[in-house]
């Protein structure tokens, strides 16, 4: 056995150039595969992460009636402050970040006669900053403080309304009790979130502001929860148990999967589709391998005949080829892995910057404008073994053919 | 102590009595102004009202002919001339303005007594639109109320609202209504020419006129039904 | 004379070692056919996306009221096109006569609610004039029932609409059903009307089928109280490259009227040039993907040709020992490679071309392939492009890459000392 190994190794080093070229072929294919998969995986996971980090946390608590009519953010179906306080206290003991929020459908306008529709969330500024990421994405001004009486809007809104930090805009809406309200508010902060749907139409004020002007009395449409490790369980079960134990009734939890359902469906189908693209990549890589192995086999037929004439068994010869194929595959896969690793590293740290190219770009993914990659050790491993596997499989048939010829014919083979 | 010294409540009560008929019919005209650059649109309609919680409106101007509205308590239904069923207007659409005027559907749906909603007090007496008026400030005494504050100038002699200002919770003036002409009919003094202005938008106002007014006429209650609407 | 000899020898050499030649040819052919097919796929994809954007959103040029775009989110129906002296048809007629203009499409694009048992559901409506719409052949896209008929109050028929299949399924609406819609009219009152569904349609564009209803322009004008006015006029030009020029011409024409409130914008500038950026970026991304394929394919070819040269070093040694010198050896190997690659490229182009042709007629089910649901208007079915430039490109690609790839090893081979070469393998 070790004899065959040594022989295989020697053969590979004899045909250095062939080995090198095949290796390069395999490695490029594998590297690209790893890189593309890394990027798509990132886009998909990032979108899911953003659903959690920007929109819904891991799950959201609200009244049952509220959830049924969530699109309208009805103000007569809120949870009152005492209930909210109770729930938040419990949640924070369980390693959950959480914050209440109350949504108002408003018109924001800068000049009289021209207003645009937005969803303003009254939030607990300190808690919201810990629970959802939008507070981290402030690009101008600052995020709300508990005492804030200003508003934080998105970069898109600032552009549409033509305002900057310190400018005043008017909020037109109805309060929790149905009273018309028209309030001037100063723009305190401008954010540029990584989630385009938040950028599109969300704005934020503190509960102090909404208690003063919207009569919220710190009651909440929803409580948003995000766990420390961003997993749903066991936190969701714990909270469900807690809710069942307290007197507040008619409450229901909604997970981010539920609320972000339309994206989830999308992502499943997208993954399937992109797999097909990757498949094509494989094909081309495989061709390179096939090609090389075939050539390798056929040109060595006389040499093999010699060995067979000297007594080497056919099976040994086939095995020898397979070893060489494994060797090439291994080299190619290793090099590919190496290259893929660096491509991924670049993708993870620097990424592809699409900022400035499109404003409200919507690929269907909830990501920012810089496209990163993600580490995908499973794909890397898979690709690695595929490279080797492919090489071996592809060599079996030619190897067999090589020993089918009678020795005498083979010796004359040219 | 003059005989005419009255409490704010009494004044408001009298003003509302002036508007409480068991039924009313009139032909209305609205001229809607939407800023300098847009043309004025004119709507005409027939109104049948029974008490304050049942109203049937049918538009008669060429563009809207056949469009009908039915208000029953706090539900509002619409049926277009070429629609085969009525649709209930709910949610955010209620905040929309009726026929593009400065009267919103919600305004039209209002049917509670002011005294049940507001605490009135007389601020002073002044002359507005050439009438001697009590200036009465109405502060909301309940929470669920569209306009938390109103100021009503009530005519001292005939107890009709000469001018009304509607305020948002923050105190911002939202709408201003001025009565330009009244009609004395069957013991009531009815404002029949009203100008309603949206103070949040520039150059937006609606001129509302009531013609051929008939008060306390018998009205078939079948008129105020969804079936009637869908005929 | 010598040259002729070399050429002949090169040709003969190909047939000497059939197996080796066959291997080279097949490798190159497969690579070329893949390159050919990928290009037609990518081109088809981009073309499709552009086509849908032009047809449903931007046209090559869009004429609208100057202030409409600004307030678009509020759908201000009164900022419409009502012509200068009479109505919008003035503009349609003049623009139709401009050279380079292919189709002029007056349309009203608006949002509406459908009354679904006391719940109001949002839908989008595109009202158009079938007589003008040649590219958007709605009639052909009907999958159930028939296309709508125009309705005016004077007529005795009923107002009709057609609904896209996905929306219809979601609403539970079938052919023949009636549907009541509520929306804001041009005068900002509410418009309310019942329509009969004369047919179900499938535009095969995923995002259109999910949200859209189509109705005759005239019916919409009555519904929205916008008689003789439209919200937009899309102009399709003979090619998209003259869009800017046509927009310029249209603006000149319209500006002849004092206080002209309308503006014509080419697709490249609409929405801050967003569509232009999307298409260019889409093209860039796919070109990148395509480049990757090219690279890999090239590598295969490089691989093959290099190995061929290298394993014939013995042969080269022999030839040079016999007197053939550097330049001639290079030429010999180069020519062999060229001949091989011509044959291979031909085969590859043929195969790739055949696939491209097939899919250009049958189409590829893109919905499954891409996972659908991008905000871009991509059809469910993509047709690959098929034209002579595609074939020429693939053919040349194969030859050029192979030729290049054999040049350097050939040069290298020519430098080998005869003695070393004959002795054995490299």
End-to-end CA distance of chain C: 32
For position A188, what pLDDT does the model report? 95
Residue C125 has pLDDT above 90, yes or no: yes
Return the domain boundaries, chain B: 8-229
The answer to whether the Cβ–Cβ distance between C292 and A16 falls below 8 Å is no
- Burial-class residue C38 by CB neighbours within 10 Å (0-12, 13-18, 19+): buried
- CA of B150: how far to CAs of B123, B125, B153, in Å? 12, 16, 10
CA distance A283 to chain C (A): 10
Residue A354: CB atoms within 10 A of its CB come to 18
For position B1, what pLDDT does the model report? 38
The model's pLDDT over B161-214, given as tens digits with 9 standing for 90+, comes to: 999 999 998 889 999 999 999 989 888 888 899 999 988 888 888 999 999 999
Q: Which residues 346-365 in chain A show a CB within 8 A of chain C?
A: 354, 357-364
Q: Which of the two residues, A136 and A261, has the higher pLDDT score? A: A136
Closest CA to C171 of C227, C238, C112: C112
The answer to whether the Cβ–Cβ distance between C372 and A266 falls below 8 Å is yes
B100 → closest Cβ in C178, C189, C194: C189
Question: CB contact, 8 Å: C70 with chain B?
Answer: no
Residue A414 has pLDDT above 70, yes or no: no
A179 → closest Cβ in B91, B169, B200: B169
Residue B3 has pLDDT above 50, yes or no: no
| Mean pLDDT score, A16-41 | 77
Residue C200 has pLDDT above 90, yes or no: yes
For position C390, what pLDDT does the model report? 82
- Kindly state the percentage of chain A with pLDDT values over 70: 83
Q: Which chains does chain B touch, 3 or more C-beta pairs < 8 A?
A: A, C
The model's pLDDT over A308-327, given as tens digits with 9 standing for 90+, comes to: 788 888 888 788 878 888 88
For position A408, what pLDDT does the model report? 66
Question: CB contact, 8 Å: C111 with chain A?
Answer: no
Q: Which of the two residues, A206 and C207, has the higher pLDDT score? A: A206
Residue C345 near residue C394 (C-beta atoms within 8 A)? yes
Confidence (pTM): 0.76
Residue C425 has pLDDT above 60, yes or no: no
| Mean pLDDT score, B30-36 | 85
Q: Read off φ and ψ for residue C86, nearest 5 degrees.
A: -120, -80
For position A271, what pLDDT does the model report? 61
Residue C270 has pLDDT above 50, yes or no: yes
Rounded Cα distance, C204 and C208, in Å: 8
Question: CB contact, 8 Å: B147 with chain A?
Answer: yes
Place C13 in a pLDDT band, splitting at 50, 70 and 90.
confident
Which range among A177-181, A210-214, A277-281, C72-76 shows the weakest confidence by mean pLDDT?
Answer: A277-281
Residue A121 near residue A204 (C-beta atoms within 8 A)? yes
Question: CB contact, 8 Å: A414 with chain C?
Answer: yes
Q: What is the average pLDDT score of chain A?
A: 82
Q: Read off φ and ψ for residue C382, nearest 5 degrees.
A: -105, 135
Taking each continuous run of H as one helix and of E as one strand, the counts in chain B are 4, 13
The model's pLDDT over C27-79, given as tens digits with 9 standing for 90+, comes to: 778 878 887 887 888 788 778 878 888 998 888 999 999 888 777 766 788 78
Q: What is the average pLDDT score of chain C?
A: 82
Residue C401 near residue C298 (C-beta atoms within 8 A)? yes
The answer to whether the Cβ–Cβ distance between C180 and B87 falls below 8 Å is yes
Residue A359 has pLDDT above 60, yes or no: no
Question: CB contact, 8 Å: B200 with chain A?
Answer: yes
For position C419, what pLDDT does the model report? 63
Question: CB contact, 8 Å: B43 with chain C?
Answer: yes
Residue C405 has pLDDT above 90, yes or no: no
For position C307, what pLDDT does the model report? 66
Q: Following DSSP, what letter does each residue of C122-146 receive, concatenated?
A: EEEEEEE-TTT-SSS-HHHHEEEE-
Rounded Cα distance, A33 and A340, in Å: 8
- Kindly state the percentage of chain A with pLDDT values over 90: 28
For position C148, what pLDDT does the model report? 92
- Kindly state the percentage of chain C with pLDDT values over 70: 82
Q: By CA distance, what is C115's nearest residue in B?
A: B87
The model's pLDDT over C16-37, given as tens digits with 9 standing for 90+, comes to: 877 777 877 887 788 788 878 8
Q: Classify C85 in phi/psi space as left (phi over 0), alpha (psi -120 to 50) or beta.
A: alpha
Rounded Cα distance, C16 and B137, in Å: 110
The model's pLDDT over C369-379, given as tens digits with 9 standing for 90+, comes to: 554 444 456 67
For position B138, what pLDDT does the model report? 93
Rounded Cα distance, C175 and C164, in Å: 11
Q: By CA distance, what is C227's nearest residue in B?
A: B63
Rounded Cα distance, B68 and B45, in Å: 9
| ipTM of this predicted structure | 0.81
Question: CB contact, 8 Å: A375 with chain C?
Answer: no
Q: Which of the two residues, A356 and C183, has the higher pLDDT score? A: C183
Q: What is the average pLDDT score of chain B?
A: 86
Rounded Cα distance, A399 and A414, in Å: 17
Q: By CA distance, what is A174's nearest residue in B?
A: B146
The answer to whether the Cβ–Cβ distance between B146 and A180 falls below 8 Å is yes
Residue to substitute from A70, A107, A179, A181, interface B, most B β-carbons within 10 A: A179
Residue C247 near residue C264 (C-beta atoms within 8 A)? yes
Q: By CA distance, what is C224's nearest residue in B?
A: B63
The answer to whether the Cβ–Cβ distance between A112 and B145 falls below 8 Å is no
Residues near A216 by beta carbon (within 8 Å), at least 6 away in sequence: A78, A102, A122, A175, A176, A207, A210
| Mean pLDDT score, A213-227 | 92
The model's pLDDT over A46-56, given as tens digits with 9 standing for 90+, comes to: 888 888 999 99
Q: By CA distance, what is B175's nearest residue in A?
A: A180
The model's pLDDT over B157-174, given as tens digits with 9 standing for 90+, comes to: 989 999 999 999 888 999
Supply the angle between the helices C2-16 and C326-362 in degrees, to the nearest 10: 60
The answer to whether the Cβ–Cβ distance between B64 and C225 falls below 8 Å is yes
The answer to whether the Cβ–Cβ distance between A269 and C373 falls below 8 Å is yes
Residues near A158 by beta carbon (within 8 Å), at least 6 away in sequence: A140, A164, A187, A190
| Mean pLDDT score, A131-143 | 93
The answer to whether the Cβ–Cβ distance between C371 and A268 falls below 8 Å is yes
Residue to substitute from C373, C378, C424, interface A, most A β-carbons within 10 A: C373
Q: Which of the two residues, C95 and B202, has the higher pLDDT score? A: C95
Rounded Cα distance, A279 and A273, in Å: 10
* Burial per residue of A37-62, b for 16 or more beta-carbon CB atoms within 10 angstroms, e otherwise: bbbbbbbbebbbbbbbbbbbbbbbbb
The model's pLDDT over B122-163, given as tens digits with 9 standing for 90+, comes to: 999 999 988 899 999 999 998 888 899 999 999 999 899 999
Tokens 């509410």, residue located: C190
Residues of A in contact with C365 (CB under 8 A): none
From the candidate CATH numbers 2.50.20.10, 3.10.20.30, 3.90.1650.10, 3.40.630.40, the one assigned to the domain spanning B8-229: 2.50.20.10
Can you read off the two tokens belonging to residue A408?
Answer: 């005498």
Place B2 in a pLDDT band, splitting at 50, 70 and 90.
very low
For position C121, what pLDDT does the model report? 85
Q: Which chains does chain A touch, 3 or more C-beta pairs < 8 A?
A: B, C
Q: Following DSSP, what letter does each residue of A359-397 receive, concatenated?
A: SS--SS----SEE-----HHHHHHHHHHHHHHHHHHHHH
Rounded Cα distance, C110 and C130, in Å: 18
The answer to whether the Cβ–Cβ distance between A213 and B201 falls below 8 Å is no
Q: Following DSSP, what letter does each residue of A125-169 receive, concatenated?
A: HHHHHHHSGGGGGEEEE----TT--SEEEEHHHHHHHT--TT-EE
The answer to whether the Cβ–Cβ distance between C78 and B64 falls below 8 Å is no
Can you read off the two tokens belonging to residue A348?
Answer: 């993870």
Residues near B83 by beta carbon (within 8 Å), at least 6 away in sequence: C180, C192, C193, C194
Q: Which residues 73-102 in chain B show a CB within 8 A of chain C?
A: 78-80, 82-85, 87-91, 93, 96-100
Question: CB contact, 8 Å: C188 with chain B?
Answer: yes
Annotate B40-100 with three-state secondary structure. Answer: CEEEEEEEEEECCCEEEEEECCHHHCCCEEEEECCEEEEECCECCCCEEECHHHHHCEHHH
Question: CB contact, 8 Å: C34 with chain A?
Answer: yes
């Amino acid at each position: 056995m070790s004899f065959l190994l040594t022989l295989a190794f020697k053969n590979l080093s004899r045909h250095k150039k062939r080995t090198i070229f095949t290796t390069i072929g395999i490695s490029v294919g594998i590297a690209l595969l790893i890189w593309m998969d890394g990027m798509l995986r990132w886009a998909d996971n990032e979108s899911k992460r953003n659903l959690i980090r920007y929109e819904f946390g891991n799950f959201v608590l609200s009244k049952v009636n509220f959830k049924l009519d969530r699109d309208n953010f009805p103000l007569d179906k809120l949870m009152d402050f005492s209930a909210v306080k109770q729930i938040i206290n419990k949640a924070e003991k369980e390693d959950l970040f959480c914050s209440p929020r109350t949504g108002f459908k408003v018109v924001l306008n800068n000049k009289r006669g021209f207003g645009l529709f937005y969803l303003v969330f009254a939030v607990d500024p300190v808690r919201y900053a810990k629970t959802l990421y939008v507070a981290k994405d402030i690009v101008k001004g600052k995020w709300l403080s508990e005492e804030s009486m200003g508003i934080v809007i998105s970069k898109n809104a600032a552009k549409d309304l033509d305002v900057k930090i310190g400018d005043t805009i008017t909020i037109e809406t109805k309060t929790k009790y149905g009273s018309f309200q028209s309030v001037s508010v100063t723009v305190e902060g401008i954010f540029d979130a990584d989630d385009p749907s938040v950028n599109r139409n969300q704005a934020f004020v503190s509960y102090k502001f909404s208690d003063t002007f919207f009569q919220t009395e710190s009651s909440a449409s929803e409580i948003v929860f995000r766990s420390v490790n961003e997993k749903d369980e066991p936190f969701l079960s714990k909270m469900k148990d807690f809710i069942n134990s307290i007197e507040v009734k008619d409450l229901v939890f909604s997970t981010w999967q539920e609320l972000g359902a339309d994206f989830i469906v999308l992502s499943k189908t997208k993954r399937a589709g992109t797999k097909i693209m990757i498949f094509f990549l494989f094909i081309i890589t495989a061709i390179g391998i096939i090609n090389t192995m075939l050539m390798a086999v056929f040109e060595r037929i006389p040499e093999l005949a010699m060995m067979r004439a000297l007594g080497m068994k056919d099976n040994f010869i086939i095995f020898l080829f397979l070893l060489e194929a494994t060797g090439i595959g291994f080299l190619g896969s290793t090099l590919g892995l190496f290259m893929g690793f660096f491509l991924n590293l670049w993708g993870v740290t620097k990424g592809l910057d699409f900022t400035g190219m499109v404003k409200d770009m919507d690929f269907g993914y909830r990501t920012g404008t810089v496209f990163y990659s993600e580490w995908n050790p499973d794909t890397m491993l898979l690709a690695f073994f595929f490279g080797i596997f492919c090489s071996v499989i592809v060599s079996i048939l030619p190897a067999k053919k090589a020993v089918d010829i009678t020795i005498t014919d083979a010796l004359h083979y040219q | 102590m003059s005989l005419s010294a009255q409490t704010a409540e009494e004044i408001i009560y009298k003003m509302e009595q002036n508007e409480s008929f068991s039924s009313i019919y009139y032909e209305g005209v609205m001229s809607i102004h939407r800023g300098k650059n847009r043309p004025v649109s004119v709507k005409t309609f027939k109104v049948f009202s029974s008490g304050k919680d049942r109203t049937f409106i049918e538009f008669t101007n060429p563009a809207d002919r056949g469009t009908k509205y039915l208000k029953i308590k706090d539900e509002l239904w619409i049926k277009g001339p070429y629609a085969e069923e009525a649709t209930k207007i709910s949610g955010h659409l209620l905040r929309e303005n009726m026929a593009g005027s400065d009267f919103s559907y919600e305004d039209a749906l209002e049917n509670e007594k002011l005294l049940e909603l507001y605490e009135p007090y007389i601020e002073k007496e002044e002359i507005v639109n050439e009438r001697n008026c009590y200036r009465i400030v109405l502060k909301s005494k309940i929470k669920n109320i569209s306009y938390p504050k109103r100021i009503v100038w009530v005519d001292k002699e005939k107890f009709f609202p000469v001018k009304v200002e509607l305020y948002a919770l923050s105190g911002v003036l939202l709408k201003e209504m001025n009565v330009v002409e009244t009609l004395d009919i069957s013991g009531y003094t009815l404002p029949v020419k009203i100008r309603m202005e949206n103070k949040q938008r520039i150059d937006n106002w609606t001129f509302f006129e009531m013609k051929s007014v008939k008060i306390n006429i018998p009205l078939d209650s079948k008129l105020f039904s969804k079936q009637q609407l869908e005929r | 004379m010598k040259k002729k000899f070399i050429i002949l020898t090169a040709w003969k050499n190909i047939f000497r070692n059939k197996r080796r030649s066959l291997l080279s040819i097949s490798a190159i052919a497969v690579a070329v056919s893949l390159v050919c097919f990928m290009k037609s796929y990518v081109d088809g994809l981009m073309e499709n996306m552009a086509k849908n954007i032009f047809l449903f959103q931007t046209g090559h040029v869009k004429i609208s009221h100057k202030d409409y775009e600004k307030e678009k989110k509020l759908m201000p129906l009164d900022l419409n096109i009502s012509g200068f002296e009479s109505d919008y048809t003035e503009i349609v007629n003049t623009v139709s006569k401009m050279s380079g203009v292919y189709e002029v499409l007056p349309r009203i694009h608006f949002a509406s609610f459908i009354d679904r048992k006391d719940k109001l559901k949002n839908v989008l409506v595109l009202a158009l004039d079938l007589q003008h719409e040649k590219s958007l052949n709605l009639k052909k896209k009907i999958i159930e029932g028939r296309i709508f008929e125009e309705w005016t109050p004077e007529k005795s028929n009923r107002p009709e609409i057609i609904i896209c299949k996905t929306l219809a399924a979601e609403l539970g609406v079938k052919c023949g059903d009636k549907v009541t819609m509520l929306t804001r009219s041009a005068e900002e009152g509410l418009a309310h009307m019942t329509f009969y569904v004369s047919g179900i349609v499938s535009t095969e564009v995923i995002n259109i089928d999910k949200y859209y209803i189509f109705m005759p322009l005239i019916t919409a004008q009555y519904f929205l109280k916008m008689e003789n006015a439209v919200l937009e006029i899309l102009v399709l030009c003979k090619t998209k490259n003259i869009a800017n020029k046509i927009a310029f011409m249209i603006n000149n024409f319209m500006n002849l009227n004092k206080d002209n409130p309308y503006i014509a914008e080419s697709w490249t500038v609409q929405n801050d040039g967003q569509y232009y950026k999307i298409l260019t970026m889409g093209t860039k991304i796919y070109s990148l993907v395509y480049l990757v394929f090219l690279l890999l394919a090239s590598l295969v070819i490089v691989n093959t040709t290099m190995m061929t040269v290298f394993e014939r070093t013995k042969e080269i040694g022999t030839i040079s020992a016999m007197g053939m010198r550097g330049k001639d050896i290079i030429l010999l190997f180069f020519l062999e490679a060229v001949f091989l690659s011509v044959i291979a490229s031909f085969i590859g182009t043929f195969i790739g071309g055949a696939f491209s042709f097939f899919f250009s007629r049958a189409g590829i089910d893109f919905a499954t392939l891409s996972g659908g649901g991008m905000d871009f208007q991509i059809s469910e079915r993509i047709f690959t492009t098929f034209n002579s430039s595609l074939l020429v490109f693939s053919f040349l690609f194969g030859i050029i890459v192979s030729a290049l790839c054999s040049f350097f090893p050939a040069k290298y081979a020519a430098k080998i000392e005869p003695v070393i070469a004959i002795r054995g393998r490299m």
